[in-house]
Structure 1
């Protein structure tokens, strides 16, 4: 069993985050909703009634630490696999070792699988019989949504626990422990005025990150008597080379683009600008954001303000031509415009409704009066007969003319809203409907 990380005299050459791993649940910081007093998971741990589980949460919130504490508290062996490096062969070897350990020493095994979402279906399935037989206590860690990334068979044999980013006071508790604990910095380092708040804010809920930043900054601390001080300038030097948490393609990424879209749809310019800047700050490709903004201009604004599409396309063009920061400023201009523009999803709904109608109905023929007649034979067959050229009609509108298949006559897909320019379009549509209703011309002339 690997217990070195829980030894108070652990090798000081280890990273600070490793040296400060808690040795009991009482020392575990964060996740009070799971392991606080009288919480179900804590009671299960303390009573020894353990079960296989999935720990889902962002990096640096204590997934690996919690798994180690489970094994320590239960007195069972701790084995670990990384889905980034391991394959089915490694899974079989770990299971065989667990089986031999039980046979020889009567000791159970907790198998911790880091980044479990990276295993494919076959690899995930390889755990199933061993979980059912009780050969291993399976604990998987993932930063991705288990509902999308893990097999239903594996999920049915485990319980999913959601771990949250650490709150500011929890991170401050870690910093204080790191500064004072003998296995940490042992009181040799102090923080200058306001440095603690900046450090905690920069960590963004990530315990490992706050300790890593603190460790790097401590190497640069300015000596002052029997201790050294981390100043704001030193901390800023360290932070200049680090980025906020932003997992492209992961849950954080999609949560933030979802927040941007919803803020734009909700006409909140400040919220929209905030999430746009958060994604830029995290390293998101500005062209990805440009594509999403263009989609929003059509989906959520549409004909209520057609200029939104042009303004967004122009901002995309500026980004491609000039890059940063000029392009990002142009995109920010588009973000604010989209947020405050009148909203309508009428075209979006009409498009989806029309596509659904086409998929679920027969392939109706083109009405004969609006068919093409490039040859004499087709003219004889009546193609284009009695077609009315709209430009020759009063107001350039052939009242009573029909353009949908006869079976769909009267179907209305596009229903303009009463907002922005669409209010005018709705008036125009109502006026044309009135002219059609008053016309006595045949709607499908020449049909056979």
Structure 2
């Protein structure tokens, strides 16, 4: 279905044409008509399927057709990174529209607080906010919610996982009872359905490819020992013509170790983790989007909600503990009908978690042994290794290349 078939205003279509948006994705095709008709909605769709446009376009269209002075739409999101990304998309979609927006998120920058406060007082039409920071502004008494028409919860499952339920309900207490409420989630556990019953009225439900990686992703896994992982990354990337790569790891210390090794081997790699302040993280993401950084090494902080086009390769340095997180991590590639590669490193301690992933996505992912120069890897036997904790040792730099029990020591010296 083409965007011209939804009945959008000329101004909205002009913005879509400028951004070269022509064909709607399945989630957009399924949700936009219901939103345009004023229905409450809960939509479940995997990351990278165009959910942001699915809810922004119809509410922007309504603002054009029936202008509202002051706040029209509130979008609640779990992280500042997602708030910033949605605000950037707002700038694109609303380029030809007389609509203002502001991203409201935490930080120690006094100027940031002042800009947010001024926008809230003057009545920005669209607010994209993290719950905690919005509550801080609400408690000051200058945020007026009486004109609000739309409440949108994006990545609602992640917000509940992060403990934002009470904050969400507190924010809702400030809102008009008569409003359109939309929930978008990558998963549909019982707690999401319960929240929908609390917030939505006579809602419609849309499910698109629940918990399945995009079809364009080539998935594979290497069965390796922990001390083979960093040498394997360097081996896999050496001589490859890949413009944009994300490597996910479970801890910031591992992220730092991976980045250090990559830079020592001549790769253009940067890290993003919680030790960086917001300004540094924003700068890293900007350079990565602009292709000034080839490899981004990250903790799970950006596994959801960051929309970067054209990711060639995603590497899971560690198997995610939560099977759902695997879908979100590999969803950074093969976005919007493109193709990509997702590789996961499985150590002995991770084999049970990887088995859960395969059960969730209802697919068996090909297992590959490490290259001969790195030596043999462990046996892949999730049942045998169930409960095995002897391999859960702290990641140490010296384990990359040497160690008394390293069967690859001889080969790695070559």
Using the size of structure 1 for normalisation, the TM-score is: 0.33
Q: Which protein, 1 or 2, shows the higher relative CO under an 8 Å CA cutoff with sep ≥ 6?
A: 2
Higher helix share: 1
Higher strand share: 2
